[in-house]
Structure 1
Amino acid sequence: MEQVNVLVTGGCGFLGTAIVSALLMTKRFSITAIDINPPSLGSSTFPTEVRYVRANVLDVEGLQKVFDEAKPAMVVHTVGVYPLGAARYSMKGKDVVFKVNVEGTRNVLQAAKECGATGLVYTSSVTVVLDKLDQDFKNVDETWPKGNVDTSYGLSKAMAEDLVLSSSTHDFSTCALRSAPIFGPTDAVVIPTIHSLIALGQTPFVLGNGINLQDYVYVDNVADAHVLAVANLLNSQTAAGEAIFVTNGEPITIRDLCLAIWKEFGHVPSFTVHVPERLAWWVGFAAEWGNWVTGTESILGRGTVSDGCRDRYVSITKARRILGYRPKVSLGEGIRISCVHYKKKLADRSKR
C-alpha cells in the first residue's frame, strides 16, 4: 500500500511527538514534522523514519517552501502558544498569543491549500467554550457557543478554529479537535505543577467545595484522536467542517486528581482544610500583589481560584460517533505512567 504524506506542525512538541508516533504505528503514512527547533541530524531521541524540518509558522515564504517540498496530502496543525501563570487567565501578552495561534494558523492553511493538500486537522481546545471563568460548564457538547471567553488563549483558539472550519470544502476538508488539558510523560504543566505543591506544603488545602468536576486527557489518547481524524478526512469525510471535543471521558475533581498524583510520590496529606471560594479569591488577589512587588509568580491567583472552583467537563459522544474514538489509556493508568516518568526525571536531575 502506498503511504500517504502527512505533515505535522509542532512535530517535536509534547503533543506533536505523540501524534507522529501514533501515525508511524499505523504504517500508512510518510511523515514530515516541522518545528521551530527540530532535532539535529543523528539524534537518537526522535524516529529516523520521520523527516524533520526547521520552519516557523509566522514565516510565510519559508513555510510555503517546506510545504511545497513535502507535498502533504494531509496536515496536522498543533502549533500554538499556551500562556502560563497569571497570563493564562487574562488577556496579558495577547499580542504574541494571537499572532502565533491565529495568524500562524492562517499561514498554515494557506500553505496547505497552495501545496495541494486535501485536508487539515487542527488541534483546538475545550477553552474555546469553557474559558468563561465565572461560569460552570457541565456535560457541554459542540452545540454550545464558543468565543464568549475571558482569556487570550481561549479567544485565540476560537478565532483560529473559525478560520479552519470555514476553510472546509469538498476539495479541502478540515476539522478541529477540542482537547481537554493534556497530561502524560514529558508533560511540563499538569504533573509538575501538582507535584510542586508537596514541597510548598500546600497539599492539605481544598479550594471551594471540592466537588466540582473537570476534564483531562492522556496525551496518547489525543494523538489517537488525531490519527482517526486524519483517516476520516481521507475517506468518509464525516468529520469535515466539524469541531469535536476530545477528553478521557472521565471527569474528576481536582482534589481527587491531586491525591492520585501525590500518592504516586508517596505523599498523602495528613489533614484537610477547606478554603471557601471567596476567601481563596482574596488570598489569590493578595498573592498577585505580592508577585507584582517581588517580581515573582506563584501558582495561586484569582484566575486559578475561579477556574479551579468551577465545573468544566464536556461530552465526547460526537468523537465516539464520528471518529470511533475510544480512550485507550484510562485516567488512572495515564497518571501512573506519567508519574513514573516524572520520578525518573527528578532522579536524573538530582544526580547532576
Structure 2
Amino acid sequence: MDSSRRVLITGGGGFVGLKLCQELTRRGYKVTALDVKFVSDAALVKEEDKNIDKVEADITDTSRVNEVVSSCKPHGIFHVASYGMSGREMLNKAQIEAVNVQGTSNVLNACREHNVRWVVYTSTYNVVFAGQVIENGDDTTPYLPPDQHIDHYSRTKCMAEQMVIAANGDELQGGSGHLRTCSLRCAGIYGEGETRHLPRIVSYIQQGLFCFKYGDPNCLVEFIHVDNVVLGHRLAAMALDDDQKHKTVGGQSYFISDGTPVNNFEFFRPLIEGLGYTYPKIRIPVGLVYFAAFLIEWIHSLVYLVTGGYSFQPLLTRAEVNKTGVTHYFNMDKAQRHLGYQPLNRNLDGVVEWYKKRLPRQPNNKNNSWLLILNILLMVTFVAILFSFIPMAG
C-alpha cells in the first residue's frame, strides 16, 4: 500500500476509525475521514490529526457518499462505520439497517463508479455467532440464517459482510480494473478512550450494578485491543494492494483478536478492582439473566412506543448476554498465514490507568440510592423466577 496514495475511512470520527486515521497518517498516508460527527475528547486528539481531512457526511445518503468519494479520489476504503453495536442503539432497527446495509451498498457502489481499488470491511464475530457454543472456530463456521440472529445489528452486519465479499472482483467503471475486498471479523474491541462499551461498564461498576456474575466460570470469550484492530486493517489493505497477494486475500474473511480466550468477568476484574470496587462473588445462571434481558428489551420497546421515540438505556440485551456468557472463540491461523497478523501484546492495564485519572480515586456511591433499590428489585426478580421453576412440595 503506497503511502503516497489517499485512503478514505468511513466512521473515521469514532474510536476505531480515529485510531486508524492517526496510525496511517503517522505512516505518511493521505487520509480522509468520513463520519456524522467526530471524537471531541481532547485526550484522544493527536498532533497528526491536523493532517486528516475530516468530512461530515452520512453514509446512508447515496449522493453525499458519491460526492465525497468523487472529490477525494481514494485509492482504497476502510469501511469502519456501523450502528447498533450495544445498548439502546441495538434496538433501533430502522437506523441499524440504514447504516449497516444501505450504507455499505452506497460505499460499494461509489467504489465501482469512481474506480476505488480495494475495500477492507470491519466486521464482527456476530456474523456467525448467536448464542451457540463455538470452540476454536475457523473460516468454515457458516453464516447464520437471518432468522437465527436475535439482534438486528448482527443480522445486518452479516448481510453487509456478504455484500462486501461478493463485490470482490466486480469490474470498475470504464474497465479500469476490478474491485478487491476482504473482511475482518473483530472480537470485542477495547482500549484507552473506547466510547461504546467501556463507559457503560464503568458506570455499572460505579453505580453498584456490577454485583453479580453469570454463566459457567469456564466460559471463554475473546477481546481485541484497538491497536490490534488497526494492525489487522493495515495488513489487510497492504495484502489487497499487492498484485499477487490479493488473489489469496480478495473475497476472504478473517477472525482477529488478542489471541487469548478468557472468561468475560475475569477479563474485567482488573478494572473493577483497579477502581477500588469489590469483584462480585454471586453467580447467577445465564438463562435467568437472558430472560431478564428479554423482559428489559420488551419494556424498552413498550416505552419507545408510548413515548414516540424516547427510551432508557437497557441494563443488558439478549445479544450482550450471549456475547459475555456463552463460550465462543476462534483461531486466527488464516489471518496469520494470509496477512502475517501477529497480535501485539496488549491487556486492560492501560484502560485501568485511563479511568483512574478520570474518576474519583475511591468508590463514591452518593446519590445512587435509587440504583441500589433497582439492583435489589432485579435480584428479587431473579430469585422469584428461579423459584417458579422449583416444584411445590406435596
State the TM-score bracket (shorter-chain normalisation). 0.7 to 0.9
Instruction: Check 1:38–1:197 CA distance in 2 against 1; reply closer, same or farther (3 A cut).
Output: closer
Alpha-carbon shift at residue 284 of structure 1 (Å):
4.2
- The one-letter amino acid of 2:86's match is L
Instruction: Check 1:264–1:99 CA distance in 2 against 1; reply closer, same or farther (3 A cut).
Output: same
State the partner residue of 2:143: 146
2:349 matches 1:340: no
* TM-score under structure 2 length normalisation: 0.78
- Out of 214, 237, 241, the position equivalent to 2:251 is 241
1:244-289 CA deviation, whole Å, 9 max, x = no partner? 11111111101211212212213333x6112223443454456557
Worse-superposed segment, 246-255 or 29-38:
29-38
State the partner residue of 2:385: none
Instruction: Check 1:54–1:144 CA distance in 2 against 1; reply closer, same or farther (3 A cut).
Output: same
Alpha-carbon shift at residue 189 of structure 1 (Å):
3.1
Name the SS of the counterpart of 2:249 in structure 1.
coil
State the partner residue of 2:183: 176
C-alpha distance in structure 2 between counterparts of 1:292 and 1:34, whole Å = 31
2:17 matches 1:16: yes
Name the SS of the counterpart of 1:58 in structure 2.
coil
Instruction: Check 1:197–1:118 CA distance in 2 against 1; reply closer, same or farther (3 A cut).
Output: same
2:289 matches 1:280: yes
1:161-216 CA deviation, whole Å, 9 max, x = no partner? 11111111162100011111111122123322332333333444221222200011
Please show how residues 306-317 of structure 1 align to structure 2 within 5 Å: 306-317=322-333
Please show how residues 217-256 of structure 1 align to structure 2 within 5 Å: 217-235=224-242, 236-237=245-246, 238-256=248-266
C-alpha distance in structure 1 between counterparts of 2:33 and 2:313, whole Å = 34
1:283-311 CA deviation, whole Å, 9 max, x = no partner? 44565577678864442455544443210
Contact 1:184/1:218 (CA < 8 Å) preserved in 2? yes
C-alpha distance in structure 1 between counterparts of 2:39 and 2:324, whole Å = 37
Name the SS of the counterpart of 2:315 in structure 1.
coil
* TM-score under structure 1 length normalisation: 0.86
2:343 matches 1:327: yes
Contact 1:180/1:246 (CA < 8 Å) preserved in 2? yes
- The one-letter amino acid of 2:341's match is Y
- Out of 51, 54, 72, the position equivalent to 1:49 is 51
Instruction: Check 1:299–1:67 CA distance in 2 against 1; reply closer, same or farther (3 A cut).
Output: same
C-alpha distance in structure 1 between counterparts of 2:14 and 2:192, whole Å = 12
- The one-letter amino acid of 2:155's match is L
- Out of 208, 220, 223, the position equivalent to 1:201 is 208
2:233 matches 1:216: no
Please show how residues 101-112 of structure 1 align to structure 2 within 5 Å: 101-112=100-111
Instruction: Check 1:106–1:343 CA distance in 2 against 1; reply closer, same or farther (3 A cut).
Output: same
C-alpha distance in structure 2 between counterparts of 1:301 and 1:69, whole Å = 41
2:32 matches 1:32: yes
C-alpha distance in structure 1 between counterparts of 2:80 and 2:127, whole Å = 15
1:112-155 CA deviation, whole Å, 9 max, x = no partner? 2211111111111111011x12x111111111111332221111
- The one-letter amino acid of 1:273's match is I
Name the SS of the counterpart of 2:34 in structure 1.
strand
How big is the alpha-carbon RMSD for the aligned residues of Structure 1 and Structure 2? 2.6
C-alpha distance in structure 1 between counterparts of 2:81 and 2:52, whole Å = 18
State the partner residue of 1:67: 69
State percent identity of aligned pairs. 29
C-alpha distance in structure 2 between counterparts of 1:273 and 1:225, whole Å = 38
C-alpha distance in structure 2 between counterparts of 1:291 and 1:35, whole Å = 28
C-alpha distance in structure 2 between counterparts of 1:299 and 1:2, whole Å = 44
Q: Which structure 2 residue ranges, 5 or more long, are not aligned? A: 170-176, 304-310, 365-394
Greater radius of gyration (CA)? 2
- The one-letter amino acid of 2:263's match is T
State the partner residue of 2:113: 114
C-alpha distance in structure 2 between counterparts of 1:152 and 1:223, whole Å = 26
- The one-letter amino acid of 1:118's match is R
Instruction: Check 1:113–1:292 CA distance in 2 against 1; reply closer, same or farther (3 A cut).
Output: closer
- The one-letter amino acid of 1:255's match is F
Name the SS of the counterpart of 1:79 in structure 2.
coil
2:156 matches 1:156: yes
Name the SS of the counterpart of 1:48 in structure 2.
helix
Name the SS of the counterpart of 2:68 in structure 1.
helix
